[in-house]
Amino acid sequence: MSSGFDDPGATWDARFDRDDYIFGTAPNVFLAAQRPRLVAGQRALCVADGEGRNSVWLAQQGLVVSAFDVAPRGVAKARALAARCGVSVDYQVARVEDWPWTPAAFEVVAAIFVQFAPPALRERMFAGMLQTLRPGGWLLLQNLDFVRHPTAKRGEQLFYQSANYRAVLFAAIIVDVLLTQALSMAASL
């Protein structure tokens, strides 16, 4: 059985190939709740940003934002949303495994619902997010918390328990990590 993510770019491009925005244009509720932690002028990276609702909101808060996603259609819609909102975001089409993860480049890294990465890629993604985060920066991470997605290939855990990523992330003492359970906010996606 295929997970539907053998070709993530094509999968997400197909999902984004519509006039409206799948998740709307308002920011993720968890991300918006972090507003008091943000300072205008901070550099922020949005990982797997999709159609841009979170990167646009961060730019509206005065942050200098870079964002990437694997789906060209999603990035095109994100650029259009940023233009409509009158903000500037440096958007790139890139896979997680190809992103440069420049060391200590960002004060804020936002990764909202990035749970579709398979385990090996997930470890590289977490390591990259920590590498690119400046000491004292904020990693804003929200994911669904399931043991195994029903469409995952046998033995593959696409959704993961918070304990799995807490162990990886808390190994970096120099960063503050905010973790939340998305299930409590699922109604406000």
Residue 136, by phi and psi: left (phi above 0), alpha (psi -120 to 50) or beta? left
- Which amino acid is present at 4? G
**Rounded to the nearest 5°, which phi and psi values hold at 67?**
-150, 150
In the chain, % of residues over pLDDT 90: 54
pLDDT at 173 over 70: no
Q: What average pLDDT does the segment 83-90 reach?
A: 98
**Rounded to the nearest 5°, which phi and psi values hold at 126?**
-60, -45
Mean pLDDT of the chain: 80
- Residue-wise pLDDT tens digits, 144-164: 554 444 444 544 444 444 544
Q: Which residue has the higher pLDDT, 123 or 105?
A: 105
Q: What average pLDDT does the segment 108-131 reach?
A: 85
Single pTM value for the model: 0.78
CATH topology of domain 27-183: Rossmann fold (3.40.50)
- Residue-wise pLDDT tens digits, 27-83: 999 899 999 999 999 999 999 999 999 999 999 999 999 999 999 999 999 999 999
